[in-house]
Chains A and B, each alone.
Chain A
Amino acid sequence: MKKNARRQFALLALCAAMALPVAAAVVPPGVELHPTQTLIRNNGSEPETLDPASAETVGANNITRDMFEGLTANDAAGKIIPGLAESWKQTNATTWVFKLRQNAKWSNGDPVTAQDVVYGIRRFLDPKTASKYAATYGVFLQNGKEVAMGKKPPSEVGVKALDKFTVEIKTPFPVSFLPQLVSNNNLGPVHQASIEKFGKDWTKPGNLVGNGAYVLKEWQVNSKVVLEKNPNYWDAANVQLTRVTYLPVEDGNADVKLFESGQNEWVYQLPPGTYEDAKKKYPKDVRNAPMLGLRYYDFQTQSPAFKDVRVRKALSMVIDRDILAQKITADGQSPLYGLVVKGMDGAEMFEYDWAKWPMAKKIEEAKKLLAEAGVKPGTKYTFSYNTSEYHKKMAIFAQSEWKTKLGLTIELEAMEFKVLVKKRHDGAFQMARNGFIADYNDATNFLALVRCDSDQNTNFHCNRKAEEIINQAEQSDEPAKRKQLLTQAVKMIMEDYPILPMLQYSLPRLVKSYVGGYSLENAQDRFRSKDLYIIKH
């Protein structure tokens, strides 16, 4: 029976892969293109690197996504489509075979081969490269974790070239979302010859050889990164934009001013408190889509103040997420009561039973819980957050909710981001602001925040029974069973209240109405410039 299920799943995966669309910018019929196909988009910050193996921020990944293409890719709507690989199949529960396009070329004209993919993945996991994501993604490849930890050589990672255009990837357990995972350019190919020739300068204009739709034309630190269409790209005929300029503007107000003056066509994110005005002022340009991201507060569950689950539950119950979303942050984000956000694959969304109760009933229950836990009104707690107007607004709201509804005294502690992350990793806090945006669309990505031995677990809570269920799910090659087990594990963990979910992220921004190909379905906010085009205006 199990073998049958595996076969069926493999067939399904193959069919799905074969049925996937491959086109680049899909220009709807009747849409007339502008004679000048150029785009200026703000990227929110200066990229820390243009080396896809080391890229960690959203900004750096946005640019490398244009210059490099992984085995798979995200289309404009965020769906997984063929990238460098034109098809793939799961030959058994832990083995995937990717067939590369034979017409794929590097920007210098060299063919892209399976060996380039193997080199890219080995280099990414090699501790010498010091990629901060090596362990995060490494766990899904056979020996990947050991290689990332420096316990095995990179040659032992489960990736090999079966022939010039075929790559085999082995995983340590069934990883049903591997095609999703390899859309990340960290796990993509890089051009070995140019890296060896130029060393750390290989990412500079003139040196950088990529296999994506664009090549690096200019990089002025803190000023702009300019990309131009790569004539050697396999799908160049369907790439509309000929030039893309990425700006590194961090200040949201300056970003909007550049948009208003016509110097920028894509505001990275509207400044706090301006979304409603922007909707009125620029109804055609304002775009706001939900993201696979979670705004939450961590409880330090090992701290004496928060060891008792009743205290954590009481504090979670009385935060009115509806008011928070509609009146406080007021930028289109959704109230959230669970770990798994809307649109996330691999587990059902979880919501507490009390989420729909009237607030009076929640307060009554919360007070009862606190009394049972021996917490008296006036009890003091400390809440830590990193200095930002947005986080401050949310923290003051939470402080007020806990004060007015439960009589608790909350001391707010603002600090630099670096200080906060260190405090969180060290467990040197009582409650702390936190947030997470998905690296890949699977519930296990979010479960890393609450799993027992995860580096990302900054609430220090561990539910061993749930951990066993997650392990069972990870070993399962039946998607339905896996989903059921992960959903069960999420429920068990969330009933322990290790975190306080607040909101699901959305990204309110301005994009000129003439920028075609922008979709509100792209929940990971991964837009490749090859999917965009400029409509005649």
Chain B
Amino acid sequence: MWSYTLRRLLATIPTLLIVITVCYILLHAAPGGPFDAEVKVSEAVMANLQAKYHLDLPLWQQYLHYLNNLAHGDLGASFRYADWSVNDLVAAALPVSLAIGGGALLISFVIGVGLGIAAGLRQNSMADHGVMLIGNLGSVFPSFVIGPVLVLVFALWLHWLPAGGWDDFKPAFMVMPMALLTFINVATIARVMRGSLLEVLNSNFIRTARAKGLPTRLVVMRHALKPALLPVISVMSPLAISSITAALVTETVFSLPGLGKLIVNGAGNRDYTLVLGLVVLITVIAVTLNLLVDLAYAALDPKIRYH
């Protein structure tokens, strides 16, 4: 298991390099530079700005310079937010995104799996239809529709929660964004869990277990749950990644200072270092999550471990 983990970790290095290289080229190829603005700056100022950010060097030298800094844990200086380094900006935004996105993902897993099991065990019952309805609603309504509705109801009509903003991880400010992301994730997890459980429950080894006279509760807990969870584990990684992209809408609706806002503003401002820094971070998160999913898979399915 350890060598498998190590091999997977080493494999992330070329992945990261490819992502950085492609992103680097695309950013520099995009029309409009970081210092293009309404006011055209003088040549002397432009020269100083370019020298300050090493933009006066040939592209390949800039690239190597960037990689060298990255290897030392330095994501560079932000082009747009002159008073902050990219490390500072990421350090400020990451905890917010992790708290909202990570928290929502955890809650959605628990609720989604629970609802999926309830629906799978009572196929075609009211509970099943209810879960399917939630699943469909979560898929049909985009977050930019649900978000403002939540604000309208819970902040403006009921005055239970703040309409947005952020205040040092105070729960009141986290409830609605987390609820929104949870709702979207629960829908997917519950549907996958239900389908997977139904498939497992119809398989031969479950029929054998039932034939031996085991009660349904034990059949589900001992034999069906583990294999039924595998597809759910598979979707957790893409769900986590999509939480970061969905965060853009969530952060806009609720005015949150997370990663989504940074990356969109960074791209619009041609803040090369900021965008690259966030791409590196998201790639690392994606690779780590995929690794965790694979490890969880191995833990749940002995066949994978033996291979």
Query: Which one, B33, B41, B164, B268, contacts A416 given CB within 8 A?
Result: B268
Pair A223/B166 contact, Cβ less than 8 Å = yes
Task: Name the residue on A nearest B42 (C-beta).
Answer: A135
When chains A and B are docked, how far (Å) is the Cα of A221 from the Cα of B82? 12
Known: A149-B44, A455-B42. A421 touches B37 (CB 8 A): yes
A203 to B83 alpha-carbon distance, docked (Å): 7
Taking the complex as formed, is A456 at the interface, i.e. its CB lies under 8 A from any CB of chain B?
A: yes
A261 and B163 contacting across the interface, CB-CB below 8 Å: yes
Residues of B close to A136: CB separation below 8 A? 39
Q: Does B65 sit at the interface, judged by CB under 8 A?
A: no
Asked whether any CB of chain A lies closer than 8 Å to the CB of B155, the reply is yes
B255 lies within 8 A of A254 (CB): yes
How far is B255's CA from A251's CA once the two chains are assembled, in angstroms?
8
In the complex, what's the smallest C-beta–C-beta distance from B53 to chain A, in angstroms?
10
Nearest CB in chain B: distance from A325 CB, A: 23
Bound CA span A198–B52, Å: 18
Binding site secondary structure of chain B = loop
Query: 8 Å CB contacts to B: which residues of A280-308?
Result: none
Distance, CA A216 to CA B262, complexed state (A) = 23
A48 touches B268 (CB 8 A): no
Contact between chains at B39 and A257 (CB < 8 Å): no
Scan residues 91-147 of chain A and give those whose CB is less than 8 A from a CB of chain B.
Answer: 127-128, 130-136
Q: What distance in Å separates the Cβ of B289 from its nearest Cβ neighbour in chain A?
A: 24
Given A257-B163, A418-B31, A418-B33, residue A223 in contact with residue B156 (CB < 8 A): no
Shortest CB distance B142–A (Å)? 15
**Inter-chain contacts of A223 with B (CB < 8 A):** 165-166, 257
Can you list, as one digit per residue, whether each of B36-51 has a CB less than 8 Å from chain A (1) or not (0)?
Answer: 1111111111011100
Flag if A418 contacts B81 (CB, 8 Å): no
Residue A15 CB within 8 A of the other chain: no
A128/B48 contact (C-beta < 8 A), A249-B255, A254-B252, A254-B255 known: yes
Chain A residue at smallest Cβ distance from B159? A261
Residues of A within 8 A of B162 (CB): 261, 263
Interface SS of chain A: loop
In the bound complex, do residue B49 and residue A130 qualify as a contact, i.e. CB atoms below 8 Å apart?
yes
- Residue of B48, B93, B164, B257 near A130 (CB, 8 A) is B48
State whether the Cβ of A499 lies closer than 8 Å to any Cβ in chain B: no
**CB nearest neighbor in B for A45:** B265
Interface residues on A, range: 35 or more
Interface size class of B (residues with CB under 8 A): 35 or more
> Distance (Å) between the CB of B21 and the closest chain A CB?
22
Contact A425 B89 (CB under 8 A): no
A260 within 8 A of B: yes
Does any Cβ of B come within 8 Å of A400's Cβ?
Answer: no
Q: Which residues of A lie under 8 Å from residue B262 when comparing CB positions?
A: 222
B82, A51: Cβ atoms under 8 Å?
A: yes
What is the CA–CA distance of A130 and B56 in the complex, to the nearest angstrom?
A: 15
CB within 8 Å of A: which B252-275 residues: 252-255, 257-258, 261-262, 265, 268-270
Which residues from chain A contact B31 at a C-beta distance below 8 Å?
A: 418-419, 422
Considering only residues 203-241 of chain A, those with a C-beta below 8 Å from chain B are 203-204, 220-224
B36:A421 contact, CB within 8 angstroms:
yes
A474 to chain B, nearest CB (A): 19
Q: Complex Cα distance A418/B41, Å? A: 14
Binary B-proximity of A481-499 (CB < 8 A = 1, otherwise 0): 0000000000000000000
Q: Name B92's contact: one of A200, A220, A263, A425 (CB within 8 Å).
A: A220
Give the Cβ gap from A137 to chain B, nearest Cβ, in Å: 11
**A49/B257 contact (C-beta < 8 A), A132-B37, A419-B31, A425-B36 known:** no
**Across the interface, do A127 and B48 meet the contact criterion of CB distance under 8 Å?**
yes
16 pairs from A and B in contact (CB 8 Å cutoff): A49-B83, A127-B45, A204-B83, A221-B81, A223-B166, A247-B165, A251-B253, A257-B151, A258-B165, A261-B156, A261-B162, A261-B164, A263-B165, A416-B268, A418-B32, A422-B31
Q: A135-B41, A148-B42, A421-B37 are in contact. List 15 more A-B contacts (CB 8 A).
A: A130-B48, A132-B37, A132-B45, A134-B42, A203-B83, A222-B258, A222-B261, A251-B253, A254-B163, A261-B155, A261-B163, A261-B164, A418-B32, A421-B38, A455-B39
Q: What are the 9 closest A-B residue pairs judged by CB atoms, nearest first?
A: A418-B32, A222-B257, A261-B163, A150-B44, A223-B257, A455-B40, A135-B42, A127-B44, A257-B163
**B residues lining the A interface (CB < 8 Å):** 31-33, 35-45, 47-49, 52, 80-84, 88-89, 92-93, 148, 151, 155-156, 159, 162-166, 252-255, 257-258, 261-262, 265, 268-270
